[in-house]
Chain A
Amino acid sequence: MSLAYDIATWACLGAGAFFVLVGGIGALRMPDLYTRLHAASVTETLGTLLIVAGLMLHSGGQLATFKLFAILVFLLFTSPISGYALANTAQASGLKPLLGPQNQKARQQ
């Protein structure tokens, strides 16, 4: 039984680390703010949730599990919202997406 828990833990942690890494690479390599945000915020939400879930499996039904669950719920709410707020503010302050129709001509030239 404990072996099953361990395997599930490491699967969650590994997948989480993979997604966070992908998000980090995306945030470095993508061309403009919106695509970077897309790469970072989406994968980071999933990645951190998976990591916290893996830690929950590992903590074994103690008080720490509940605390980790509270952190998970908190991240589930705040992580996508911060991405949304950042993108929304960028758009409101007039930053045009590089891949949008406004920049279509500029790219073709």
Chain B
Amino acid sequence: MTFLGFFTLAFVAISAVLAVTSRNLFESSVWLGIFSLMMAANFFILDAPDVAITEAAVGAGVSTVLFLGALALTAEHEHVKEKFRWLPVVVMSVLGVVLLVVSFEQPLLGDYTAPVHQHVAPWYLSETPRLIDIPNIVTAILASFRGYDTLGEVIVVFTAGIGVISVLGFRPKSKSTLRGSSLAQRVRGVQHHAVLRVVGKLLIPVLMLFALVVQFHGKYTPGGGFSAGALFAAAVMLYGILEGADKSAKALPQLVMLRLAALGATIYSGVGLVAFFKGGNFLNYSVLVTDPLAGQYLGILLIEFGVGLTVTAVLIMIFNAIANRDSY
């Protein structure tokens, strides 16, 4: 266990260094994908499968595709500045030394007396069966106990999506640069690969089915709205890569995605408001129906659906916006 942890962490460090030092930006983004995959493996070794699924789907899958899409619009090689600057080096060295010194003060891995195991974790472990009664305590904490935080995260995702869309929505000033070498056309280059298209299409429904399992089975097994949304968006991105990004934008138009993203956030806060008007606190699902446990079940189901909807819609929206742009 510990050996595997050291192995994956060593790989994380190596891929991080290679991602920074590599001058070819495509290479860098592939190294970042490997970084995320190894990080996900490390999370899994540390018994955090919920985080591992999300890290693998978002870090290794979705963000690599988005990086490559953005690079196809700009340039392949890093613009190297020959001038050596001392200030960043000094600041980063001091920061590194401080972090290294502080790390000796940290409790050891798996130390039972560490504050993180003594503060609220025992309360969550003992009270979740009584108050919420679902096996996956991570989902209980994320969706119910810390519902405010998750609502905030969903709003952040939604805002980020709107931000990216408004930046990418502007037409470029000069149409001379990189015209004709658009990603949409490069992406359409995959269409003549019959093998890739056939096998890729076989994978899309399986990926979507797995996303639905992660979404709606998240109360029993690792998973939830965030990872399911990323997986579902990855399936759509695979379709966009195989068939051309114009097709995926046509199948799931930007305006519909924008409204679905808003709808997801609205479902989440709407559940909170219903609980509020039924006499409980905001986002207290126990008052939704007469049985408190059934109310928790219903509330978590609904808000996870809202989270999944927003994350899926925002990621698909960003992919379509980047992939269908013909210059930067």
Contacts and interface: CB of A to CB of B under 8 A. Distances in A.
B203 A88 contact: no
A74 B206 CA distance: 9
B196 interface: yes
A78 B193 contact: no
Interface in B170-204: 193, 195-196, 199, 202-203
A77 B193 contact: no
A85 B196 contact: yes
Nearest to B189: A92
A88 B193 contact: yes
Nearest to B196: A85
A89 to B, nearest CB: 9
A84 B203 contact: no
A70 B299 CA distance: 32
Contacts of B202: 77
A85 B206 CA distance: 21
A77 B196 contact: no
Interface in A60-109: 74, 77-78, 81, 84-85, 88
Q: Is the interface of A mostly helix, strand, loop or mixed?
A: helix
A85 B203 CA distance: 16
Nearest to A84: B195
A87 B119 CA distance: 54
Contacts of A88: 193
A78 B195 contact: no
A85 B196 CA distance: 7
Contacts of A77: 199, 202-203
Contacts of A85: 193, 196
Contacts of B203: 74, 77-78
Interface string A25-67: 0000000000000000000000000000000000000000000
Contacts of A78: 199, 203
A60 B199 CA distance: 30
A77 B203 CA distance: 9
Contacts of B196: 81, 84-85
A85 B195 CA distance: 9
Given A77-B203, A78-B199, A88-B193, 12 more contacts: A74-B203, A74-B206, A77-B199, A77-B202, A78-B203, A81-B195, A81-B196, A81-B199, A84-B195, A84-B196, A85-B193, A85-B196
15 contacts: A74-B203, A74-B206, A77-B199, A77-B202, A77-B203, A78-B199, A78-B203, A81-B195, A81-B196, A81-B199, A84-B195, A84-B196, A85-B193, A85-B196, A88-B193
Interface of B: 193, 195-196, 199, 202-203, 206
Interface of A: 74, 77-78, 81, 84-85, 88
8 tightest A-B CB contacts, nearest first: A81-B199, A77-B199, A85-B196, A84-B195, A77-B202, A81-B195, A81-B196, A88-B193
